[in-house]
A and B are shown apart, each in its own frame.
Chain A
Amino acid sequence: MATKTTCISSQVSDDEQRQKRENVRSLAMGGHVGFESLPDQLVNRSIQQGFCFNILCVGETGIGKSTLIDTLFNTNFEDHESSHFYPHVKLKAQTYELQESNVRLKLTIVNTVGFGDQINKEESYQPIVDYIDAQFEAYLQEELKIKRSLCTYHDSRVHVCLYFISPTGHSLKTLDLLTMKSLDSKVNVIPVIAKADAISKSELHKFKIKLMSELVSNGVQIYQFPTDDETIAKINASMNGHLPFAVVGSMDEVKVGNKMVKARQYPWGVVQVENENHCDFVKLREMLICTNMEDLREQTHTRHYELYRRCKLEEMGLTDVGPENKPLSLQETYEAKRHEFYGELQRKEEEMKQMFVQRVKEKEAILKEAERELQAKFEHLKRVHQEERMKLEEKRRLLEEEIIAFSKKKATSEIYQNQTFMASGSNLRKDKDRKKAPAYRFELLCFDVRACETTGGPKDAEEGREGPSTVGRP
């Protein structure tokens, strides 16, 4: 008989402990109620919503990433090969919608373009890490929004990273190790040996052992298929032993026996993709899609995303626990942070104001200085100008005086000449030497000539004083 109990403060831990703490009883029912259809209801809802799966393929150019994805999903996604000459590693994401019976899958394939092609590979893995972080960030932003729509949000977080190892047969390259180490805490990493038809069976076995030991010794945590559920524990455990899978990808069909199979044809034989003896492709497909797709998604959400979220929020300086170790709600810490932030803002504002005022003052001082200089120059010029002017005045005065003196002289000389003319004409010859004499005489002569009415040419010539004066000629 159920006893009425007051309600629950449920903590998540072991089911048993939880039940004991909550006074939750198991109850036997008297008949069929019908909630066994619950998983079906859940499934129906998921079918309606559709599924989302994002695969990141990391590997060198030409190692067979696109081909393997094509083979995995039995479609031809994209055709062209990428170039080897990219200066940086870039990630290219493409989304496709697949449908199988009533399941709709939104598949996003992210390819690394130019990985391992550069001469200096130091920065190769950073773009990949950045991309993964960016997807987490986008989801976090959506989750923290006030008005959010998580149910319609297109989840772009990377669920699995297929790392393609080139089949050298020796060991992991440094680049591989470095990249996988930086990715293992952010995404589920599944290493695969690409182009496995280049290795023989015995070499392959040794290669796998070497790879796994290297990964383990370097502390790289690759994705382990979960073994906690009985139905799939056994198969997952056995698959865990086959990691990393050696795969061959091909979309070409070759006739083997009497049917067409996907295979690669060589002069010495045919490598069948779906033959378990030839490569581990079937195992990979089985594990990746048929058995553990949901687990991959769940791990991404509950482990990697939560880790990212926690780190990001802690980076912001927010904690769950206050200074006296009392559980502090996020909001209180945020309130405190907000005050701090405001204070900081005020302070910065003050600073900026001060700086501005200072600058303005400086500028003003400079301008004033310049103004003063200009003024001084102006004064100086003015003075110089004044002086010049005075000098000029002086000169002019002198000149004027000279002119006056000269005109006086002229006047007196004219008067004098008039007088002498009036006085006697005989003094004319005496005045020959005088400059004015010829002109004067000429005048006289002209007077004579006129009186005689002769052309007077020879006479003129005789007298021949070249008197340029035109006064005489009528």
Chain B
Amino acid sequence: MDPLRRSPSPCTSRPPSPRTPPCEMLGHVGIEAVLEQLKIKAMKMGFEFNIMVVGQSGLGKSTMVNTLFKSKMWKSTLPGLGVPMPQTLQLQSVTHIIEENGVKLKLTVTDTPGFGDQINNDKCWDPILGYINGQYERYLQEEILITRQRHIPDTRVHCCVYFVPPTGHCLRPLDIEFLQRLCRTVNVVPVIARADSLTIEEREAFRRRIQHDLRAHCIEVYPQKCFDEDISDRILNSKIRDRIPFAVVGADQEHLVNGRCVLGRKTKWGIIEVENMAHCEFPLLRDLLIRSHLQDLKDITHNVHYENYRVFRLNQSHALPRGPGWVNLAPAPADLTATPGPWKVRWQAHDSSDEEC
């Protein structure tokens, strides 16, 4: 992926207003019932969401996922319990179906143990990029089949949560490298992990410095400014952008505070409540990811990132002559595995294409 392949200019999901005469209806017709129909259909089909958590070990990724979805998705890893430290970066995915009030969500969480843990972390982002592109590739293959499935299963990563260690200083070179590369391929939401080790002022300072670093390196994290469609979106997203990266604390144990049962971390000097805005910004993260912007995350993945990948892949082959009355559909280059196999795609295949990264 060359640095020039940035996301295209604002891809509005709203169609351009037609130069057709707006008609006045003389009474109620019932068009708005279509919204209800949409809802019914969507609820019947269920939703899919794929999230990836990236960060060094010990930053609380698994705990965070458990906290987000209020369930034991992962067994939180405790070091030194005989679990061998992975020598290379390996991706692990878990899929669950969770249901709330009739809404079924198929959630896939991909973890990346071993990221940034080696002595030489050069190109440790490659397996991750390979995995993400592999999912795009899968979708693309399904999409260009002649006999397609009615509903193509969506395994593309919709959101990547990046855990920044709470050094309190600024982004490290590894962080910057990784964020630069990944922002062009997937929606990235950086968070400050284990934020209970920073005071409120330190958090603010850290946040400002991170924001400055992101701007300096032209890293566009989610929500991207160029996809704001109208003024209300922009206002809402600016507020969010102001608070990115969120300082979060994860906890999956409940404690009793003031008679209420809350999720929190119990320490000698107090109980850090996860859902208390005064303590940490976990609610903001949860709201962003789940309650308000989930559909938007999926849309941007589908309309922008996937399309970018598709254009890139289709352009990879030589220019083809126009067939009789049909547009170009380019063949895959020889080095990319054509069969949609398991996710452990040989990331060497993508090495050549990622050369210019």
Contacts and interface: CB of A to CB of B under 8 A. Distances in A.
Contacts of A291: 33, 37
B347 interface: no
A35 B69 CA distance: 10
A40 to B, nearest CB: 8
Contact of B291 (A28, A37, A44, A96): A37
A160 B155 CA distance: 33
Interface string A138-159: 0001001111111111100000
A234 B42 CA distance: 20
A35 B31 contact: no
Interface string A17-33: 00100111111111111
A211 to B, nearest CB: 27
Interface in A131-186: 141, 144-154
A284 to B, nearest CB: 12
Contacts of A313: 146
A38 B295 contact: yes
Contact of B95 (A8, A106, A319): A8
Interface in A197-219: none
Contact of B294 (A26, A41, A52, A77): A41
Contacts of A28: 71, 98
A231 B230 CA distance: 35
Given A24-B97, A33-B100, A290-B33, A39 B42 contact: yes
B315 to A, nearest CB: 6
A48 B72 CA distance: 36
Contacts of B95: 5, 7-8, 22-24
A73 interface: yes
A97 B41 contact: no
A106 B19 CA distance: 11
Nearest to B37: A294
A263 B150 CA distance: 44
A391 interface: no
Band of interface residues on A: 35 or more
B290 A35 contact: yes
A418 interface: no
B6 interface: no
Given A19-B97, A46-B35, A74-B27, A96 B21 contact: yes
10 contacts: A8-B155, A26-B97, A35-B98, A43-B35, A44-B295, A74-B28, A77-B23, A231-B40, A331-B144, A338-B321
Interface of B: 11-18, 20-35, 37-44, 46-47, 49, 68-75, 91-103, 105-106, 108, 110, 141, 144-153, 155, 229, 286-287, 290-296, 299, 303, 307, 310-311, 314-315, 320-321, 323, 326-332, 338-340, 342-344
Interface of A: 1-2, 4-12, 15, 19, 22-52, 72-75, 77, 94-103, 105-106, 141, 144-154, 229, 231-232, 285-286, 289-295, 298, 302, 306, 309-310, 313-314, 316, 318-320, 327, 329-332, 334-335, 337-338, 341-342
